[in-house]
C-alpha cells in the first residue's frame, strides 16, 4: 500500500464515537462559557463573531483545533514513534526555557508569549510528549517492565516534567503527571505501589480529620487486629509480626510528625489552608513557617470562598436546574474563575443534577471508549499511549469536578475540552487525535 | 499474561466507575438533599429592596392636612465612579473641607463598598438642592435621590402629631414579628405612634439580581415575586388647627397646657402644651441637633403636659365636691355655710379669700365666690357621712365618685403616655399618718378644695367639664374621628371612642344646680371680668398651691351653657390667679371655636396676652446661662449624650436637669406605679402638715 492510500484510509478509519464525544464536549464547553459570560445587552451573534468575549475566542480555538486534528489524522503514525523521544526532549527544553523567557501569568511563570495575544504553556504540551515518550520506552523490545530498573526509568520519564512544573509553581499540572502511574500499573508495575500511595493519602486525610491521639489509638487497634487475625502465621513466621510493627511505627510517625511537618514547613500557608478547608477545618497559619514573614496581613479573606461559592452554585441547581441562562450565581459572577477551572458549576446550576449526571456520563463514555480502543491495539506503543490519554483525562476530570463539589482541595487544573483556554483545548485535541491516528493503524505493530 | 492484563484493565475500569459514583453521590448530596445551598444562593444573588409606601396624611376637623409628606433629596455617591472630579468645587457647594470629603468617601466605602451608592449628605435644604441640581453633571458618581419625609404645614401641634425616628435594636426586639428592619422609620410619639400601623401602609418588596460586587443586574424573574407597596391610610382628626394655633400662641412664654373638647362627642378640638417646638425641626438634617437640644431643655418641651402634666386642680374641683354632696343627699342647693374668712373647725385655719357677706349662703354662691370653707366643710361631710362606718369608708366612697368622674384613672386617649394622675388611696394616707385609720376628715380636709395629694391632668379636667356640661355622660376623649377605608380592626379600636359612658345616675337637677353656680362664676363671681362674646358660659377658676413656687393658674369652662359645644381646661404653671392667667386663654379659645373668629378686641387681647412672659425665674436663668459662651462647650458633650430614639424622652431629662419646672407635684405617689416615668427622683414632696400651714386660698 502506498503512503497516500494509507493516509486516506486512516482518516476514514478514525473512531467516530470518540470524534463525536469530542465534538459534543467542546460544543458544551463553548455554551458553558457563553452562559458564564452572557450579557443580555449585547447582540449574541455579534459577540460570538467579535472575538472580544471568551466564548468567541474559544470558538476560534476550536476551529484551530479542527485544523490541527485534521493534520494529525492525515499524518503518518510512524512519525509519533520516531519522534517521541525527540519531542520529549524538546518539551523538557521548552519547560526549562520558561525559567528564562517565561511570562508571569496568574502568578506562575510557566507561559511563553507567542505574540498576537496568545500564550503557550509548555507544561501542558509536555503531557503529550511524556505520554509518547513513556509509550516509546515501554514498547521497546528490550524493556521488561516487571524489572525494578525499568519501573524506575518509567517513573522518571513521568516525574521530570512534574518536578519542573512544581518549580514553576504549577502544582496542579504537576499532579496530573501522577496519572501516568495508572498506565504503569496497567503495564505491570506492582499494585502495592498504588496501594501504598492510596494508603498514604488516606492516612493524611485521616490525620487532618481526627485528633492525633484518637488516630494513634485507631492505628494501634488496627495493628492489634491484624496481629490477632494472623496469629497462626505469626507463630510460624516471626517476620510478619516485625513487619506489622514496622508499618504501625511508620504510620504513627507519618501521622504524628511527617504530616504536620509537611503542612507547616513544606507547603505554603494558602496551600495548607486549602487542604484543611476541604475537610472542613481551619488551618492555623501562625504554625506555618512561611507565614511568619508576613504578620501584617491581618485582613483575612476566607480561603474557602471559591469552593463555598462553587458548592452554592451547584447545590442551588437542585434536581433539574434553574434553566439555560437563568443561573443567578452564574449571572452574578459569584464563582471565581467560572469560565476556566469552575466551568462545571455553570452546568450544575443551570441543569441541576440531571444535567450534571448526563454530562458526567459523556465523559464516562469517552473514557471507556478510549480504554476499549487501548485494549484492541496490537502494538504496545499505541496501548500505552491510549492508557496515558485515558489516565490524563480521568485525572483532570476527577480533580476538577471533585474540587468544585468540595471533595478535593482547590487545584487549578482545567476540565478537559470544556474549560476555557487555548492551551488546554489544543493539548487535549492533540492527545485524542494522535490516539485516533494510532488507532487507525491498530493492525500495524509500531515501535 | 493476557488474563492478568485483562484483570488490570478491569480494575482500572472499576476504579473509574467508583470515582464517578463518589462524584455522583456528592452531587446528589449537594443538589438533591441539601436545601441550604438554594437559600445561600438567594442570599447571594437576590437583593430585596424594600419599597416604602407614602405614610398616611393626617387631616384636621375641616379636612386641612396638618401632617403630610414632602420630598427631600439626599446627595448620593458611588465612590468608584467619583474619581477625577473637582473636589474643591463640590466641597465649596456643600460648605465642607476636603478632609471631611475624604472622610465621608471612606465611610461610604466601609459601609457600602465603593461600587454601591451611599448617602454623602442627607436631606439637603431646598437652596442647597437647587444649587447642586444645577451643577450635578459636573460631578460624575454623585447623584440626587429623592426621599419622602414628613412635613407639618402649620408648624404646630407637635405633641399631638408626634414624630418619626429610626428604629433601634430594642424596638426591633420588642416588635420582632412586625417586619421592621434596621434603618426603618417608625412613629415614636403622638399620633404617629398610636396609629403607626394605619399610617405606615404596607411595604412592598422588589427583588433584583445582583452580582458579586453588589451591583444590580436587573429585576429577578421579571418581578414575578415582587409585592406592591400599599400607601398608608389617612386619619381624620377632630383638631381645629386654627384653634390649636391660637392655643399655642396664647401659651407662648408660659409653661402650661390647654385642652378643648367637644363634649357631645369627646373629640378633642385643641390640645396645646407649652413650651412646645416646631415639629418641622425634627425632620431633615438638623434633627439630631434639635432633638438633643429639646431633650436637654429644662422646661421640657417634649413633655405633653396635657396628658402627662399632673396638677392640683385647686378650686376647679369645687363643682364636683358640691355635686358629690348633693348626690349623697348631704346638702341641698340652698345649704349655706357661715364663712367668716377661714375654716377653723379642725384647728388650723384654712383661709378663704372672702369674708362674711353671706358669700357662701348657698351652693351657687359658694361656687361663684369659690368659698374654701364651704367646700372643705362639704368634703368633711362626705367623708364623715354617717351612712358609712368610718371616715375611711366614707373616703373610699368619695374616691369612687372621683374615679367615675375620670379623676385618678387614665381616660384612654389615643396618644401614648397618658398618666392617671392621682386620687390617693386610703393606704396612702395610712402610710402618711403612720397606721391604719389613724386619720380622719380633718387630716385631709384640703382635698375638698382640690389640694393635698389630689392631682389631675388638664385632659381629665376638660373631661370633667364635659361630664358636667353633658349632665352625666362623656365620650372618651380622642383625636382621631375616623380612618380612611376603615377596617374591622380599626373599627374595633375606635369603638371605645364611640361608646357613650354614663357616669352615674346623678339627677339632672343636681347638674343644673352646679351649672347654674358655674354660670354665676362668669356673671358676678371670680371670672365675671371674662366674657365670651355672644355666648353664656359656665366656668370655674382655680389657683392651686404647689411646692414649686407661685400658684398654678387653673381654669375650666364650657360653653354655651344650654347647648354645650366646647369644654376647656387650662393650666398655666406658677403664674398666679386662675381667672387672670388661665381664664383668658379658655375664653379666647371658646370664642374662636364658637364664633369661628375672634372679635377685634379679643384679637388684640390675644396678641397682648401671648406676649406676657410668665416663665418662672429659675427657668429664665437657665435659658440665660445656656446662651452664654460657657454652654457652647457643654453642647459638645451633649452631642455625645444625645440619644435619637427616645420614645419616653421625658424620663431622661429628669436626671439631667437641676431645676424641675414641676408639672407633677405628687410624683412619688404610689398610685402612679404603672406610669413609666415614675423612675424619676424628685425632691421629697412637702407633707400635709406643711401644706396645711401655708394655708391656701382659691381666688
Instruction: Give pLDDT, residue B694.
Output: 42
d(CA A348, CA A320): 9
Contacts of A398 in chain B (CB under 8 A): 19, 23
Instruction: Give pLDDT, residue A111.
Output: 81
Instruction: Please judge whether B28 and A353 are an interchain contact, meaning their C-beta atoms are less than 8 angstroms apart.
Output: yes
Q: How far from B462 is each of A242, B44, B269, B583, CA to CA, in Å?
A: 105, 59, 11, 14
Would you say how long chain B is, in residues? 699
State the greatest distance between any 2 C-alpha atoms of chain A, in Å, as a whole number: 80
pLDDT of B395 over the 80 cut: yes
d(CA A16, CA A222): 50
Which of A233-237, B41-45, B272-276 has the largest mean confidence?
B272-276
* DSSP code at position B235: E
> Looking at CA atoms only, how far is residue A318 from chain B in angstroms?
4
- The model's pTM is 0.63
Instruction: Give pLDDT, residue B679.
Output: 33
In DSSP notation, B653-670 reads HHHH-SS---S-TTTT-G
d(CA B625, CA A122): 84
Contact B194, B414 (CB under 8 A): yes
Instruction: Please judge whether A364 and B210 are an interchain contact, meaning their C-beta atoms are less than 8 angstroms apart.
Output: no
Q: What is the mean pLDDT of each run of 10 residues along chain A (447 residues)?
A: 48 83 95 88 78 87 94 90 92 89 71 75 89 92 84 90 82 84 86 77 74 82 86 82 86 81 76 68 70 46 75 91 86 86 93 95 96 91 93 93 86 89 91 93 77
> Tell me, what's the ipTM?
0.85
Q: Give the rounded percent of residues in chain A with a pLDDT score beyond 90.
A: 33
According to CATH, the topology of domain B307-617 is Beta-lactamase (3.40.710)
Rounded to the nearest integer, the mean pLDDT of chain B is 82
CATH architecture of the domain formed by B48-237: Alpha-Beta Complex (3.90)
d(CA A68, CA A74): 10
> Looking at CA atoms only, how far is residue A352 from chain B in angstroms?
7
d(CA B411, CA B419): 9
Would you say how long chain A is, in residues? 447
User: In which band, very low, low, confident or very high, does the pLDDT at B567 lie, cut at 50, 70 and 90?
Assistant: very high
Instruction: Please judge whether A312 and B40 are an interchain contact, meaning their C-beta atoms are less than 8 angstroms apart.
Output: yes
d(CA B432, CA A113): 100
Burial zone of B581 (CB within 10 Å; 0-12 exposed, 13-18 middle, 19+ buried): buried
* Residue from A146, A315, A402 to probe the interface with B (highest B Cβ count within 10 Å): A315
Task: Tell which residue, B316, B251, B308, has the closest CA to residue B544.
Answer: B316
Instruction: Please judge whether A186 and B45 are an interchain contact, meaning their C-beta atoms are less than 8 angstroms apart.
Output: no
Q: Does B501 touch chain A (CB under 8 A)?
A: no
Q: How far from A182 is each of A371, A376, A424, A432, B644, CA to CA, in Å?
A: 12, 18, 21, 18, 71
Same fold, B48-237 and B307-617: no
Please name the member of A317, A334, A394 whose beta carbon is closest to the beta carbon of B16. Answer: A394
Ramachandran quadrant class, A303 (left: phi over 0; alpha: psi -120 to 50; beta: rest): alpha
Which has more pLDDT, B660 or B65?
Answer: B65
**Chain A contact residues (CB < 8 Å to B):** 40, 182, 185-186, 309, 311-319, 328-329, 331-334, 348, 352-353, 356-357, 360, 364, 367-368, 371, 374-375, 387, 394, 398, 401-402, 405-407
Average the pLDDT over each of B42-46, B267-271, B640-644 and give the range with the smallest value: B640-644
Backbone angles phi, psi at B667, to 5 degrees: -50, -45
In DSSP notation, B479-522 reads SEEEETT--HHHHHHHHTTSSEEE-----HHHHHHHHHHHHHHH
Domain residue spans in chain B? 48-237, 307-617
CA B273 to chain centre: 9
d(CA B374, CA B352): 9
CA angle A116, A117, A119 (to 5 degrees): 105
> Average of pLDDT values for B112-139?
82
Its sign, for the CA torsion B435, B438, B442, B448, is: positive
Amino acid at each position: 500500500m502506498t503512503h497516500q492510500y494509507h493516509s486516506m484510509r486512516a482518516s476514514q478509519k478514525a473512531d467516530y464515537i470518540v470524534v463525536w464525544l469530542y465534538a459534543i464536549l467542546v460544543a458544551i464547553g463553548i455554551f458553558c462559557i457563553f452562559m458564564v459570560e452572557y450579557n443580555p445587552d449585547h447582540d449574541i451573534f455579534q459577540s460570538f463573531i467579535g472575538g472580544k468575549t471568551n466564548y468567541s475566542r474559544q470558538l476560534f480555538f476550536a476551529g484551530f483545533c479542527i485544523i490541527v486534528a485534521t493534520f494529525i489524522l492525515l499524518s503518518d503514525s510512524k512519525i509519533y514513534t520516531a519522534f517521541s523521544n525527540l519531542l520529549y526532549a524538546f518539551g523538557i527544553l521548552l519547560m526549562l526555557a520558561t525559567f528564562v523567557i517565561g511570562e508571569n501569568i496568574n502568578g506562575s511563570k510557566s507561559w511563553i508569549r507567542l505574540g498576537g495575544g496568545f500564550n503557550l504553556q509548555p507544561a501542558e504540551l509536555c503531557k503529550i510528549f511524556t505520554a509518547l515518550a513513556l509509550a516509546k520506552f515501554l514498547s521497546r523490545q528490550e524493556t521488561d517492565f516487571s524489572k525494578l530498573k525499568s519501573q524506575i526509568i518509567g517513573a522518571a520519564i513521568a516525574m521530570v516534567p512534574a518536578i519542573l512544573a512544581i518549580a514553576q509553581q504549577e502544582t496542579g499540572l504537576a499532579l496530573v503527571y501522577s496519572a501516568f502511574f495508572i498506565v504503569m500499573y496497567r503495564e505491570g508495575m506492582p499494585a502495592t505501589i498504588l496501594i501504598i500511595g492510596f494508603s498514604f493519602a488516606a492516612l493524611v486525610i485521616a490525620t487532618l480529620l481526627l485528633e492525633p491521639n484518637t488516630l494513634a489509638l485507631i492505628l494501634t487497634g488496627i495493628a492489634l487486629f491484624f496481629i490477632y487475625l494472623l496469629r497462626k502465621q505469626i507463630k510460624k513466621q516471626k517476620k510478619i509480626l516485625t513487619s506489622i510493627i514496622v508499618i504501625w511505627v511508620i504510620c504513627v510517625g507519618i501521622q504524628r510528625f511527617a504530616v504536620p511537618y509537611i503542612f507547616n514547613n513544606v507547603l505554603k500557608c494558602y496551600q495548607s489552608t486549602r487542604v484543611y478547608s476541604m475537610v472542613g477545618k481551619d488551618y492555623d497559619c501562625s504554625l506555618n513557617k512561611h507565614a511568619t514573614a508576613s504578620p501584617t496581613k491581618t485582613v483575612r479573606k476566607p480561603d474557602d470562598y471559591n469552593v463555598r461559592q462553587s458548592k452554592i452554585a451547584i447545590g442551588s441547581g437542585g434536581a433539574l436546574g434553574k434553566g439555560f441562562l437563568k443561573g443567578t450565581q452564574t449571572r452574578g459572577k459569584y464563582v471565581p474563575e467560572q469560565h476556566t477551572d469552575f466551568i462545571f458549576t455553570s452546568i450544575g446550576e443551570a441543569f441541576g443534577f440531571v444535567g450534571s449526571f448526563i454530562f458526567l456520563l459523556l465523559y464516562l463514555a469517552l473514557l471507556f471508549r478510549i480504554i476499549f480502543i487501548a485494549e484492541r491495539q496490537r502494538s504496545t506503543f499505541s496501548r500505552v499511549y491510549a492508557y496515558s490519554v485515558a489516565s490524563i483525562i480521568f485525572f483532570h476530570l476527577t480533580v476538577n469536578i471533585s474540587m468544585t463539589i468540595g471533595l478535593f482541595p482547590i487545584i487549578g487544573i482545567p476540565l478537559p475540552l470544556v474549560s476555557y483556554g487555548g492551551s488546554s483545548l489544543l493539548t487535549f485535541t492533540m492527545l485524542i487525535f494522535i490516539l485516533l491516528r494510532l488507532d487507525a493503524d491498530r493492525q500495524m505493530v509500531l515501535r | 499474561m493476557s488474563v492478568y492484563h485483562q484483570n488490570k484493565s478491569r480494575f482500572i475500569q472499576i476504579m473509574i466507575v467508583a470515582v464517578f459514583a463518589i462524584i455522583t453521590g456528592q452531587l446528589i448530596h449537594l443538589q438533591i438533599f441539601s436545601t441550604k445551598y438554594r437559600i445561600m444562593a438567594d442570599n447571594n444573588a437576590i437583593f430585596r429592596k424594600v419599597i416604602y409606601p407614602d405614610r398616611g396624611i393626617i387631616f384636621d376637623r375641616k379636612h386641612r392636612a396638618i401632617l403630610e409628606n414632602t420630598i427631600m433629596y439626599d446627595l448620593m455617591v458611588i465612590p468608584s465612579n467619583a474619581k477625577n472630579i473637582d473636589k474643591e468645587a463640590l466641597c465649596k457647594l456643600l460648605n465642607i473641607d476636603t478632609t471631611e470629603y475624604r472622610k465621608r468617601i471612606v465611610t461610604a466605602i466601609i459601609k457600602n463598598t465603593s461600587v454601591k451608592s451611599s448617602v454623602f449628605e442627607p436631606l439637603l435644604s431646598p437652596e442647597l438642592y437647587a444649587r447642586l441640581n444645577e451643577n450635578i453633571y459636573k460631578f460624575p458618581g454623585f447623584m440626587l435621590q429623592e426621599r419622602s419625609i414628613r412635613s407639618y404645614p402649620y408648624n404646630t401641634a407637635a405633641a399631638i402629631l408626634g414624630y418619626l425616628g429610626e428604629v433601634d435594636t430594642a424596638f426591633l426586639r420588642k416588635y420582632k414579628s412586625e417586619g421592621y428592619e434596621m434603618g426603618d422609620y417608625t412613629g415614636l410619639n403622638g399620633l404617629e405612634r398610636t396609629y403607626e400601623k394605619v399610617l405606615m401602609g404596607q411595604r412592598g418588596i422588589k427583588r433584583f439580581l445582583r452580582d458579586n460586587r453588589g451591583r444590580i443586574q436587573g429585576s429577578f424573574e421579571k418581578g414575578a415575586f415582587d409585592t406592591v407597596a400599599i400607601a398608608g391610610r389617612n386619619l381624620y382628626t377632630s383638631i381645629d388647627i386654627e384653634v390649636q394655633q391660637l392655643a399655642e400662641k396664647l401659651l407662648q412664654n408660659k409653661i402650661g397646657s390647654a385642652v378643648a373638647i367637644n363634649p357631645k362627642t369627646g373629640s378633642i378640638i385643641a390640645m396645646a402644651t407649652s413650651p412646645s417646638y416646631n415639629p418641622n425641626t425634627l425632620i431633615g438634617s438638623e434633627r439630631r441637633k434639635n432633638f438633643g437640644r429639646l431633650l436637654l431643655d429644662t422646661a421640657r418641651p417634649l413633655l405633653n403636659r396635657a396628658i402627662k402634666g399632673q396638677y392640683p386642680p385647686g378650686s376647679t374641683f369645687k363643682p364636683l365636691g358640691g355635686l358629690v354632696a348633693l348626690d349623697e343627699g348631704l346638702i341641698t342647693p340652698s345649704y349655706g355655710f357661715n364663712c367668716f374668712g377661714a375654716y377653723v373647725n379642725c384647728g388650723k385655719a384654712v383661709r378663704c379669700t372672702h369674708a362674711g357677706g353671706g358669700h357662701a349662703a348657698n351652693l351657687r354662691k359658694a361656687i361663684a365666690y369659690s368659698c374654701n370653707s364651704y367646700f372643705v366643710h362639704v368634703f368633711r361631710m362626705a367623708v364623715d357621712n354617717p351612712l358609712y362606718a368610718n371616715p375611711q369608708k366614707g373616703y373610699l366612697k368619695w374616691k369612687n365618685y372621683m374615679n367615675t368622674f375620670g379623676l385618678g384613672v387614665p381616660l384612654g386617649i389615643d396618644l401614648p403616655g397618658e398618666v392617671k394622675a392621682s386620687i390617693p388611696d386610703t393606704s396612702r394616707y395610712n402610710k402618711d399618718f403612720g397606721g391604719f385609720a389613724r386619720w380622719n376628715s380633718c387630716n385631709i380636709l384640703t382635698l375638698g378644695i382640690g389640694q393635698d395629694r389630689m392631682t389631675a391632668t388638664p385632659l381629665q379636667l376638660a373631661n370633667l367639664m364635659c361630664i358636667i356640661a353633658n349632665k352625666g355622660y362623656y365620650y372618651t376623649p380622642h383625636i382621631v374621628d375616623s380612618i380612611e377605608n376603615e377596617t374591622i380592626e380599626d373599627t374595633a379600636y375606635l369603638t371605645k371612642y364611640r361608646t357613650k359612658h354614663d357616669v352615674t345616675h346623678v339627677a339632672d337637677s343636681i347638674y343644673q344646680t352646679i351649672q347654674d353656680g358655674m354660670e354665676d362664676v362668669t356673671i358676678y363671681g371670680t371670672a365675671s371680668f371674662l366674657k365670651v362674646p355672644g355666648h353664656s358660659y359656665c366656668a370655674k377658676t382655680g389657683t392651686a398651691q404647689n411646692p414649686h413656687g407661685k400658684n398654678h393658674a387653673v381654669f375650666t369652662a364650657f360653653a354655651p351653657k344650654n347647648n354645650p359645644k366646647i369644654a376647656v381646661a387650662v393650666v398655666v404653671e406658677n403664674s398666679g390667679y386662675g381667672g387672670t392667667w388661665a381664664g383668658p386663654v379658655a375664653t379666647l379659645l371658646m370664642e374662636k371655636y364658637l364664633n369661628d373668629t375672634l372679635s377685634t378686641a379679643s384679637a388684640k387681647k390675644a396678641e397682648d396676652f401671648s406676649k406676657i412672659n410668665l416663665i418662672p425665674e429659675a427657668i429664665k436663668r437657665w435659658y440665660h446661662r445656656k446662651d452664654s459662651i460657657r454652654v457652647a462647650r457643654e453642647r459638645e458633650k451633649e452631642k455625645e449624650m444625645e440619644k435619637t430614639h427616645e420614645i419616653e424622652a421625658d424620663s431622661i431629662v429628669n436626671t439631667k436637669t437641676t431645676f424641675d419646672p414641676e408639672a407633677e407635684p405628687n410624683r412619688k405617689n404610689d398610685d402612679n406605679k404603672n406610669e413609666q416615668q415614675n423612675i424619676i427622683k424628685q425632691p421629697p414632696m412637702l407633707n400635709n402638715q406643711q401644706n396645711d400651714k401655708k394655708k391656701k386660698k382659691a381666688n
